[in-house]
């Protein structure tokens, strides 16, 4: 059993009593130790040629190290993380002292993975991972998270690929979240925080879709199809179902619990699939890891790891490195592999990329030559190619004009074609069918000549001779973890009490309940008309007792800016509300039923118990996105008129003393639709964003989403699929999703507290055993 040790490097000032060496027992390192071990010994120019594929092999080793260290973190004593977070046991690189636990708790952040207090930075070296081609790994930062006994650990892991004097390294920086027993997970449940899009049903994206900003994440609890589109800016796509990505679509990382298909010239760097992976057209993923099989019906690849078989059926396919617990069947011509390792069989019809190294637990068949072949069973060379080095636990057979350099076999060797061998070392017999030559060697069995006059076979017969051929090391591809996308609850009904303006139909009349608004006494109003300049002006708040027909004798305030004083903003018919005007009073507006927001510019969070749709030249800015000035002082907003609501201040959003916005996750949303009716059935939840819509804030649909035309969303998207109906969420037309804009108060990752989730502050139940998850990675 190999041992990995985590320890700090020597420093001038050490904490007395702190152990400098921590021993971690890593399961599976005996197997992992040989994953990237090259077979054979290459000399001369072949050493320099190894650099062609060494870089991607080094990346594969680095990723393997990331997973190994994750497992190792679980073996540490539970008090180790707290000591690290206190600054003990480090070779420190920062001059800032560690924040005490009490101060850290007092400085709780709203971000689930933000450090509580100043993180401790330095260097803690991890040794003992050389056996899995990880010569260097260090922990560089540790900090506490908001949950009890929960920590964030940052590490740099360097993988190495080498042979002889040629060597290449690749470094991956990984951020882990470690939850000790009894820890409460951060809000959102583990690593699955809100992404740019969060869909809990199948997703279909087409058209021209652009994600602006860094690290855009799409989480889908279902199948995904990205096709017939130009899609850019996606860092990570995570899906519990199957994923299909078409030509012209760029995604850095695809993670799927199902199958993944890459078509055309799709630009995907990394694929992680629990199902099968299929590459077509001109796609070229840098890294593929699959719990199933991998098929190349086109395209190219760099590092491929699979638990199942790997099949290359198209011509011209080039792959740097393949590791599989199954077999490799390469029937396409015109391309080739740098290295292939398989636990079962290899049937290789690709070209010799010089080098091309093949290692199989059972049999190997080569039709166009290779640099080296090492099999636990039989090796067959056919066609016309040359294989520089052959090592086999079973027989070796040469057919056609295939030739070989050095052959070492624990079985028999048969040269049945026209190709020669430079050297043969075999425990069994040697058969040469014709005039082929063998330069040198030793055999333990008989020498058989098909042509008795062939004197070019220069081998020594030594009875009992045993050729030295090691059994190839087994490939171990770690099982991928299932994707966890915690469910969210979208329910408009519990949010009614947080609304500044609540719209309902009571006894056939529009009723507006006002709360938390400076300038309007809290209470229940109806909408009436004000008489001014001999004209009737609609949409004035009026106490019911002050109504005379449709005329209000003592109007309180207007919350509408119509296209003119005589135009109404609010209408209701057949269960549907319509808001259509220049703007309305700032704040949170709640509607019982369906809602259509048409023309105008609004600084509001619109909430509806039914569906929400937009139409016309429409823009909504969530209060947090718009900022204090626009929300609280009636400052003009870009692209919109300055409505005369200066005296109406939403006091649940505005701190006028400090001139800042109060913390409100609800005010991050532009739209929230859908809710559980009193009978328990879910109603509404569809958000349909029409052409020319600009939604600056989060879009939260309890059931489904559709976009079209020229749409812009400055925030996150949630489609919760709570009605139980089937069907795809559709994002089409020309849609831009941007999470980099808005006021500093805007947090696109923060969900409002809705319904039953409020009691627990959105945290997961305490853990019963240590858990370590990879939160984020990047190449350095």
Give tens-digit pLDDT for 733-749: 888 888 889 999 999 88
pLDDT band at 753 (very low <50, low <70, confident <90, very high): low
Higher pLDDT, 227 or 542: 542
Structure letter (DSSP) for residue 307: S
Which pLDDT tens digit goes with each residue over 243-296? 999 887 888 899 999 999 999 888 888 999 999 999 998 888 889 999 999 999
Of the CA atoms within 13 Å of residue 536, those in its CB half-sphere come to: 11
Tell me the torsion sign for CA atoms 544, 548, 551, 556. Answer: negative
Tell me the HSE value of 684 on the side-chain side, using a 13 A CA sphere. Answer: 29
pLDDT band at 47 (very low <50, low <70, confident <90, very high): very low
pLDDT band for position 556 (cuts 50, 70, 90): very high
Least confidently predicted of 9-23, 301-315, 663-677: 9-23
Full-prediction pTM beyond 0.75?
A: no
Does 695 score more than 90 pLDDT?
A: yes
Residue 193 has pLDDT above 50, yes or no: no
Identify the band that residue 196 occupies on the pLDDT scale cut at 50, 70 and 90: confident
Contact present, 392 and 356 (Cβ < 8 Å): no
Residue 662 contacts by C-beta under 8 Å, 6 or more apart in sequence?
652, 653, 654, 655
pLDDT at 777: 62
Query: Minimal CA–CA distance to 651: which of 763, 498, 528?
Result: 498
Mean pLDDT, range 187-206, rounded to an integer:
65
Considering 86-95, 389-398, 595-604, the range whose residues carry the highest mean pLDDT is 389-398
Q: Which helix (H) or strand (E) holds 22?
A: strand 22-25
Cα–Cα distance, 292 to 308 (Å, whole number): 5
> For residue 761, what are the contacts with CB-CB under 8 A and spacing of at least 6?
187, 753
What per-residue confidence (pLDDT) applies to 183?
Answer: 55
Please determine, for residue 393, whether its predicted confidence score (pLDDT) is greater than 90: yes
Supply 363's token pair. 């049999």
pLDDT above 50 for 374? yes
pLDDT digits (tens, 9 = 90+) for 477-515: 999 999 988 888 899 998 988 999 999 998 888 999 999
Give the pLDDT of residue 532: 85
CA–CA separation, 384 vs 703, rounded Å?
61
User: How much is the pLDDT for 194?
Assistant: 57
d(CA 6, CA 8): 7
Band the pLDDT of 773: cuts 50, 70, 90: low
Which stretch of 43-47, 256-260, 513-517, 694-698 has the lowest confidence by average pLDDT?
A: 43-47
List the alpha helices (DSSP H) in 118-260: none
- SS3 state of residue 574: coil
The percent of residues above 90 in pLDDT, for the chain, comes to 54
Mean pLDDT, rounded, of the chain: 83
DSSP character for 457? B
pLDDT for the residue 497: 86
Q: At residue 30, does pLDDT exceed 50?
A: no
pLDDT per residue as tens digits for the range 587-642: 999 999 999 999 889 999 999 999 999 998 889 999 999 999 999 998 877 655 55
The reported pLDDT for the residue numbered 232 is 79
Which residue spans within 67-223 are E strands per DSSP?
A: 91-92, 120-127, 136-144, 150-163, 166-179, 197-199, 203-212, 216-220
Q: Which two tokens stand for residue 662?
A: 């109060």
Spatial distance between the Cα atoms of 550 and 476, rounded to a whole number of angstroms:
78
Write the pLDDT tens digit of every residue in 660-684: 999 999 999 999 999 998 888 999 9
Residue 60: in which H helix or E strand, if any? helix 51-73
pLDDT at 191 over 70: no
Tokens 């749409």 map to which residue? Answer: 711
> What element of type H or E holds 61?
helix 51-73
Q: What is the DSSP letter of 287?
A: E
Looking at the chain, the whole-number percentage of residues with pLDDT higher than 70 is: 82
pLDDT at 185 exceeding the cut of 80: no
What SS3 state is found at 405? strand
Instruction: State the pLDDT at residue 228.
Output: 76
- Spatial neighbors of 31 by CB under 8 A, at least 6 apart, are 473, 474, 476
Please give the pLDDT value at position 641.
55
pLDDT band for position 103 (50/70/90)?
very low
Overall average pLDDT of the 237-245 stretch: 95
Beta bridge partners of 764: none
- Per-residue pLDDT at 206: 82
59: part of which helix (H) or strand (E)?
helix 51-73
The count of residues in the chain is: 780
* Token pair of 452 as six digits: 């008795």
Q: Is the pLDDT of residue 214 over 70?
A: no
Among candidates 477, 59, 65, 56, which has minimal Cα distance to 302? 56
């Amino acid at each position: 059993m190999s041992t990995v040790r985590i320890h700090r490097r020597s420093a001038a000032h050490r904490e007395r009593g702190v152990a400098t060496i921590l021993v971690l027992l890593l399961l599976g390192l005996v197997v992992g130790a040989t994953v990237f071990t090259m077979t054979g010994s290459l000399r001369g120019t072949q050493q320099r040629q190894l650099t062609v594929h060494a870089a991607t092999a080094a990346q594969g080793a680095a990723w393997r190290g990331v997973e190994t260290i994750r497992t190792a973190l679980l073996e540490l004593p539970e008090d180790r993380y707290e000591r690290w977070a206190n600054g003990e046991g480090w070779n420190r690189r920062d001059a800032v002292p560690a924040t005490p636990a009490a101060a850290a708790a007092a400085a709780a952040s709203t971000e689930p993975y933000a450090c509580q207090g100043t993180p401790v930075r330095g260097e803690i070296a991890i040794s003992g991972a050389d056996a899995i081609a990880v010569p260097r790994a260090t922990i560089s930062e540790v900090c506490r998270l908001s949950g009890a006994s929960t920590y964030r650990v940052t590490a740099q892991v360097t993988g190495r690929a080498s042979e002889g004097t040629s060597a290449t390294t690749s470094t991956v920086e990984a951020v882990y979240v470690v939850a000790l027993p009894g820890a409460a997970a951060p809000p959102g449940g583990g690593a699955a925080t809100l992404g740019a899009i969060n869909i809990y049903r199948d997703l279909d994206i087409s058209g021209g879709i652009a994600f602006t900003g860094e690290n855009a994440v799409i989480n889908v609890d279902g199948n995904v199809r990205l096709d017939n589109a130009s899609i850019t800016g996606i860092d990570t796509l995570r899906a519990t179902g199957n994923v299909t990505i078409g030509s012209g679509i760029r995604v850095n990382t695809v993670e799927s619990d199902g199958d993944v298909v890459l078509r055309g010239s799709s630009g995907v760097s990394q694929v992680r699939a629990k199902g099968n992976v299929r590459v077509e057209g001109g796609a070229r993923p840098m890294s593929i890891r699959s719990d199933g099989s991998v098929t190349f019906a086109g395209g190219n690849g760099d590092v491929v790891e699979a638990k199942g078989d790997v099949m290359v059926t198209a011509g011209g396919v080039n792959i740097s490195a393949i590791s599989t617990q199954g077999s490799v069947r390469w029937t396409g011509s015109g391309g080739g592999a740098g290295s292939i390792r398989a636990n079962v069989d290899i049937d290789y019809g690709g070209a010799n990329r010089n080098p091309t190294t093949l290692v199989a637990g059972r049999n190997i068949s080569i039709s166009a030559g290779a640099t080296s072949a090492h099999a636990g069973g039989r090796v067959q060379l056919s066609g016309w190619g040359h294989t520089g080095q052959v090592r086999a636990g079973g027989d070796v057979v040469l057919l056609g004009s295939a030739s070989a350099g050095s052959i070492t076999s624990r079985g028999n060797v048969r040269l049945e074609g026209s190709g020669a061998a430079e050297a043969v070392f075999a425990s069994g017999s040697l058969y040469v069918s014709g005039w082929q030559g063998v330069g040198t060697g030793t055999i333990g069995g008989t020498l058989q000549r098909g042509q008795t006059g062939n004197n070019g076979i220069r081998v020594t017969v030594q009875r009992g001779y045993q050729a030295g051929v090691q059994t190839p090391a087994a490939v171990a591809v770690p099982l991928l973890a299932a994707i966890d996308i915690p469910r969210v609850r979208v329910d408009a009904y519990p949010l009614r009490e947080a609304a500044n303006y609540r719209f309902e139909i009571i006894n056939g009349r529009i009723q507006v309940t006002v709360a938390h608004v400076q300038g309007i006494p809290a209470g229940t109003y109806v909408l009436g008309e004000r008489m001014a300049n001999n004209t009737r002006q609609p949409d004035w708040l009026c106490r019911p007792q002050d109504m005379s027909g449709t005329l209000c004798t003592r109007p309180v305030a207007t919350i509408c800016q119509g296209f003119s004083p005589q135009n109404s903003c609010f209408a209701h018919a057949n269960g549907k509300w319509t808001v259509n005007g220049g703007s309305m009073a700032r704040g949170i507006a709640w509607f019982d039923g369906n809602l259509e927001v048409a023309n105008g510019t609004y600084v509001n969070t619109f909430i509806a118990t039914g569906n929400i749709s937009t139409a016309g030249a429409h823009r909504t800015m969530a209060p947090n996105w718009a900022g204090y000035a626009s929300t609280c002082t009636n400052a003009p907003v870009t692209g919109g008129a300055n409505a005369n609501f200066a005296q109406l201040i939403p006091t649940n959003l505005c701190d006028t003393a400090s001139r800042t916005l109060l913390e409100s996750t609800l005010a991050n949303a532009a739209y929230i639709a859908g809710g559980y009716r009193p009978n328990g059935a879910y109603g509404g939840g569809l958000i349909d964003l029409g052409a020319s819509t600009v939604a600056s804030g989060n879009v939260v649909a309890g059931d489904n989403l559709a976009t079209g035309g020229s749409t812009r969303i400055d925030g996150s998207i949630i489609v919760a699929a709570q009605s139980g109906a089937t069907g795809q969420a559709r994002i089409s037309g020309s849609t831009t999703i941007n999470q980099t804009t808005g006021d500093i108060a805007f947090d696109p990752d923060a969900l409002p507290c809705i319904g039953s989730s409020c009691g627990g502050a959105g945290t997961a139940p305490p853990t019963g055993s240590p858990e370590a998850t990879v939160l984020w990675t990047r190449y350095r």
